[in-house]
Structure formats: structure tokens, C-alpha cells
Structure 1
């Protein structure tokens, strides 16, 4: 009898503790739903360190260490022949590590091209939920002619290049992926400014910002977090 009484008392105390703790503390709601992994992809002649401001903003929005990934790569290589394949392998690794079926992508500048190629031509429509481009040369930039003679990535960024023509072919925003771009009318690197915008994407004007200023701009950061949270 004593053992039954002790068990009953323990059950009662557990129930009371859960009641007193309130609706947010029980096992059913012990943790906020995990975020989908987000992969941050830097631009030309840059490195993963450029993402400090957005990383902090994501963490403030509740992202954990294991939900934010930064892909580092050699920005002087071919978009389609080298980088898109390496990015595909990286996404596969992120998905294996986290158990997520899909990832979100935020790319700055040149990083928009290998990630777009992956989505459009390498199966990314099935593994990417949100694709976000900050100041991406999505239809090329005349500035890239300055280095096109000796640099493959620059050639890929020039208007009318083989890569640009294939990315623009057919549907620019294929599959169930949610596409978002942020562009500036004062961007000294993207020429013309409207190169960033894609048919079928949510194209968001960021105001008069320098090319790299989009990385740390507060309004752009809020917009990225909001886009990632959209269905």
C-alpha cells in the first residue's frame, strides 16, 4: 500500500509542477520548432567572414549554431563546371548532418550564380526551400569585363556569357523554391542595377546602398529573416 501511495503522490506532484510551470514549459513545447538550416554563400574575392552581421541577426531571431552554415570556396573557378557541383556536395553534407530534407540559401553577389545553377540544373529544386540573392549579378554585370581576360568567374559574370544565357533560359525561378532578391540603385558593382531582379522572384529594392553595404544593412537583414520565415 505504501508503494502505491508513493507512486500516486509522485504522479500528483509531477502534474502540479507542470501546471504551475505554465503552458510553455511541458515536454510537448519544450523547444521552439527548429529552423531549417540556412547556408550563407559569400561573393567574389570574399570569404565566409563577411556574414557577421546577418549571422548575429539570425541568432537574435532564434537560430542555433547547428542551423547556420557558411560555405567557403574559391571564387575564381567556373560556376557550372566546378562550383555548382561542390556546392551540391556541401548541401548534401548539411542535410546529412542536420537531418533536414531541405535547406535555405542566402547568397551575396557572385555567390548567387553557383547556387542558382545548383537549384536550376543540379537537383536543387527538391532540396532548397528559400533562395535569397543580395546584389547578385543574375543577368551579368559589365564590371566583370575588367577581369574576364584571366578569370573564369569574371567571364561567367559578364552579360551574355554561356552561364548567364543558360541561367536565363526558360523559367528563371523554377520549382517550388521561394526566390527573393535584394537590389540597390547605387550598386557600384552590378551594372545595370536591374541585373539582380528575376522574373518570378520577390524583388526587393534596398535603396541607395553600396554593393557590400547590403550585407550589414539593418532593413535588408530584417527582410532576409522575414523571407526565410515565409512559408
Structure 2
């Protein structure tokens, strides 16, 4: 028979419970990643370093929509890639927007950069209790795909994964540049890289996540535009939505028709469906809130960022696969 629970015992229990809770928080037992399966890889990058690179609103004020996480591409930053285009456009549509500054302007090992996505999704999910929608541009499609594959607990925390002009099966620029010493992420985007072979082995769209890819036949960087297509995803070529439309690699970041496809995916169950778009879907040259000066500034800014990115380490070998990715 259980001993009666007198008032002194209750006071002691409350104090002990509070002490345990404080200790648990101090030790990190209640951190966003606490639900991560023991069989998943531990994050190698210090949590404080990752947290300093995550940008989110102080308050998530739009419960009617899932929060959106934006992942930038090669040589860029969160601000240069998104803050003149998608970030304000999405905010104007009632979305809470988060972003990440990937390390070394995403010129380093994509495997390491993917840890930032893992942490960001866990933090946003913990803060909101809602699934996260991810939008990645260019190389920024690879980090979330890697994270979803090798940290599968994220598959229940992500609703939509939307890729804009992704080099998912390799890019000619990687093959060309890496004939000579090149930077780590470029070597990983070669068609025959160990990284892409590991990423694309097996299910390319794992879990219950809704995958949408958007590509353009007039992309000047992703010349083999079908590289952006994923088995199991809704793969959309922008010229099939708006015949004759010219959308380049950078202009995918502010094109009005592409933005309509993206918001269709965000606002419906499942991936994007061009058949749901309104009749005037091709009339908007630019995404909402984006003006011609914004588009020009964003385009010029990517060139400046490319120059800044030259400072990061060059090598002759692709980074070795992490042990967890070796078959």
C-alpha cells in the first residue's frame, strides 16, 4: 500500500520536480533535437555556432500557415538570396519566414552544412509545434534532402520540400570547374560525385514529405535542367506552366510564375499542382513586393557574392563521405 502523501511530502516533491526540470534544461535534455533517434548521426558542428546562423522572427505570429525555412545556394547568404525576393513576398502572404546562413557561403562540405538544416527544423518545430515547409534554391536543395535522408526524424517535422533549380543529379559547372582545384561543394555537385551517388541511392523523396521541384529550360547554369527532377516528386518545368517564359538561375528567386507554383504547394495538401493556378498565373513578372530595382539588386548581388566566395579553401579531392553515409 502506498504511503499517505502528506503536505511536507508534496512540498518536497514540487521542489525536487522543479530542480530536475531545471537540471534537464541545463543539460540540454529538452532541446529541440532531444527527440532525435539514437541511431541518427550526432551533429558535429557546435550547436551555438549553428544557432547563430539561424534567422527567425522573434514571435511566430501566423498560425494559419506552416513556418517556412529558406535555404540559399552556392556562394550566397540568406540575406542576399532571399531578403529582396521570397522572404518579403512570403511575409506579405501571411507566412512566418526563417532562414540560414550556411557555413563558408555554402562553399564547404555540404554534409556539414546539412547539419544546419537539421538544427533549424528542430528549433522551428519546437517553437511552433507545427511542421516546417522548406524552400531551397540551387545547392540549397541538397542540404535539406541530405538532412531528410540521414536524420529521418525530420520526415515527420517537414510538410513540404520545394526545390528551385536544384543540381540534384549533378551540374555541368561542377564538372567543368573541378577539372582544376575547386571548392568542396563544387566537387560534390559533379555528376559522378560520391556525395550525389549517396544522396540519390534508394528513395530520392523519403518519408511522407510532399516534394515539389521547379526548373527552367532557360536556366543558364543548370544547363541539363532535368537534373532538378526527383523520382517521386511533382516535377514542374516553368515553361510548361507559362510557354515561352524566360527564367534564369537567379531570376528563379523572384519570378512571379514560379512564386505562384511555390505558394500553391504551401497552401494545399500535397505537392504543387499547376492545374490549380489561376488563369492569370503568367501575368506577374515578379513575385509580390518585388520591384524591378529589387530584382536588379539581387542579380548584381549574386555576382558580388561569387567574388567573396573565392576566399574559401580550394582542393583537389571531394570531401570523404561521412561514416553514416558509407554503404
Alignment match, 2:72: 42
Return 5+ residue gaps in structure 1 as ranges: 1-30
How far apart, CA to CA, are the structure 1 residues paired with 2:176 and 2:62?
A: 48
CA displacement at 1:32 relative to structure 2 = 7.4
**Local SS of the residue matching 2:85:** helix
1:195 to 227, 244, 249: 227
Mapped pair 1:91 → 2:129: no
Per-residue deviation, residues 154-175 of structure 1 (Å, max 9, x unmatched)? 0111101111111211111111
How far apart, CA to CA, are the structure 1 residues paired with 2:189 and 2:223?
A: 11
CA displacement at 1:57 relative to structure 2 = 2.4
CA displacement at 1:132 relative to structure 2 = 0.3
Alignment match, 2:260: 222
1:213 to 251, 266, 289: 251
How far apart, CA to CA, are the structure 2 residues paired with 1:113 and 1:36?
A: 21
Alignment match, 1:120: 149
Provide the aligned length of Structure 1 versus Structure 2: 196
CA displacement at 1:99 relative to structure 2 = 3.1
How far apart, CA to CA, are the structure 2 residues paired with 1:222 and 1:184?
A: 15
Per-residue deviation, residues 195-229 of structure 1 (Å, max 9, x unmatched)? 00111111111133110111100010111111111
CA displacement at 1:33 relative to structure 2 = 4.6
Q: Which runs of 4+ in 1 moved over 4 A?
A: none
CA displacement at 1:153 relative to structure 2 = 0.2
State the TM-score, normalized to the length of structure 2: 0.57
Return 5+ residue gaps in structure 2 as ranges: 1-60, 240-245, 270-327
Indicate how the Cα distance of structure 1 residues 57 and 79 shifts in structure 2: closer, same or farther if over 3 A, else same.
same
How far apart, CA to CA, are the structure 2 residues paired with 1:167 and 1:139?
A: 9
**Local SS of the residue matching 1:107:** strand
